Structure 1
Amino acid sequence: MNILITGANRGLGYHLAKVGLERGHFIFASVRASTPQAIQQLEQLKNDFPQNIEIIELDVSCEESVKRAAQIVAENEQHLDSIINNAGILLERDKQIEELNIDEVTRSLDINTIGPIRVIKHFLALLEKGKKQSIINISSEAGSLTNAYSGDFPYGLSKAALNMLSEKLHVALKDKDIHVYSIHPGWMKTDMGGNKAPTEPSDTAKGIFEIIERKLEIQSQYVFIDYKGQPMTI
């Protein structure tokens, strides 16, 4: 499979790239800035899997950047089989609404929700040429309406909107057999999740690939699920 991963240089994105390569897939590992420091871990993967990875610059907050990245992928491959919208940010933690920096709220929505829209807009044509295609939007339990909690206003709002985007894409693309899921990755040991998190990002990545490879039978009324394929509370 040819798979595009946004935000692939660290955290879950890096582990998704690593697991995908270990499973024999070709990975387009996208990063916001392709500086030596930013892509250090990916360069090691490139050394280990030189024929199966291409590192590309892609800033999900800039449509021109996304468009250029899509052109690069199109020049190298005729199709994609999966898009993993992983790039995301967590800002304004633990702030009450009267304390929020509205610019940071806007930035959160721009990257976490509108970013995947930009990616899908410019890469969908390549995805439609693939096989057993999927769009995986990395969401969060923070996007659940039923289990809403105080705090993390920008993040929760952006992930709830991302879940709606996934539902609408599911309806729009189901006749083409393109699977769409919003996936809660669990509380992971990453820069965002911290060291106390109980879940290893490599385990989450393996579960997501079981879904991409259609090895799990998903039985859920909605497309909001966890990395094990179990339904999440909307």
Structure 2
Amino acid sequence: MNILITGAGRGLGAELAAEALDRGHGVIAGVRNPEQGQEALAQLAAVHGAKLTIAALDVTDEAGIASLAAALKEQGRTLGAVINNAAVLTARDTQIEALDLQDMLITMDINLYGPMRVVKHFLPLLTEPECSIINISSEAGSISNAYPGDYPYAISKTALNMFSQQLHVYLQERGVQVLSVHPGWMHTDMGGAEAPTDPRRSAGGIISLIEQRTAPQGRFMFMDYTGKDMDI
């Protein structure tokens, strides 16, 4: 299986790439600037060689996304999974009275419109058997468990869950699995030093969801990395 991963240069994205490669899959690792600071991916390339393709992919640049999709199609490349991982966390712990709406615009552009752009242009390449689209969401996007603060991030992830649900309905007759996945509170740059979850453990769970085609028990396509249904 060939897996496209956005935001693959560090954190969960880099661990997803490493886990997928260790399991024998091909990986197209999308990063904003392949020439700068890609130490984790360079180490993976040294071990896995041609199984890893490091590609320029900025989820806010639709023309660049379209160009990469066209180049891969011309090369005869196909995909078995797309993992929309790239995201930002802005205005952490900022109350609504102090919120800069520019943070909302930036966050929605990356966390919601980014996955929409990627799916728009890479869906035609998603032709391998038992394909999957995995949108990395968050428990922060659960309406049932809403809390004040983190407005840009939480709202963007709620909207991403809706996008996943729409894609599920659209693609279910084609047999494409679509999931929003809460990866856990991870020890990454975004999650912080106090986070309890090892990102490699989360990555392993997410790749297993793809391989095993784990389906939610309920009607909503929202689960955590262990396969447990999340409250929408």
Give the TM-score range, shorter chain: over 0.9
Return the alpha-carbon distance in structure 1 between the equivalents of residues 187 and 77 of structure 2: 36
Distance 1:72 1:191, change over 3 A: same
Tell me which residue corresponds to 1:5: 5
CA contact under 8 A between 1:220 and 1:230: conserved in structure 2? Answer: no
Deviations 1:137-167 (CA, angstroms, capped at 9, x unpaired): 0000000001000000000000000000000
Runs of at least 5 residues in structure 2 that lack an aligned partner in the other structure = none
Alignment-mate amino acid for residue 8 of structure 1: A
Tell me which residue corresponds to 2:224: 226
Return the alpha-carbon distance in structure 2 between the equivalents of residues 124 and 93 of structure 1: 33
More off after superposition, 94-103 vs 110-119: 94-103
Length, aligned pairs only? 232
Cα drift, residue 77 of structure 1: 3.6
Deviations 1:157-210 (CA, angstroms, capped at 9, x unpaired): 000000000000000000000000000000001001111111100000110111
* 1:20 counterpart SS class: helix
More off after superposition, 209-218 vs 140-149: 209-218
CA contact under 8 A between 1:6 and 1:31: conserved in structure 2? Answer: yes
Distance 1:189 1:97, change over 3 A: same
- Listed as ranges, the matches of 1:108-187 within 5 Å are 108-127=107-126, 129-187=127-185
Cα drift, residue 14 of structure 1: 0.2
Return the alpha-carbon distance in structure 1 between the equivalents of residues 216 and 144 of structure 2: 21
Cα drift, residue 215 of structure 1: 5.7
Return the alpha-carbon distance in structure 1 between the equivalents of residues 196 and 83 of structure 2: 23
Return the alpha-carbon distance in structure 2 between the equivalents of residues 76 and 20 of structure 1: 21
- Listed as ranges, the matches of 1:9-28 within 5 Å are 9-28=9-28
Alignment-mate amino acid for residue 97 of structure 1: I
Q: Which of the residues 177, 198, 201 maps onto 1:200? A: 198
Tell me which residue corresponds to 1:31: 31
* 1:181 counterpart SS class: strand
Q: Aligned-pair RMSD on alpha carbons?
A: 1.1
Deviations 1:29-51 (CA, angstroms, capped at 9, x unpaired): 000111232x1210110001002
Alignment-mate amino acid for residue 163 of structure 1: N
Distance 1:104 1:88, change over 3 A: same
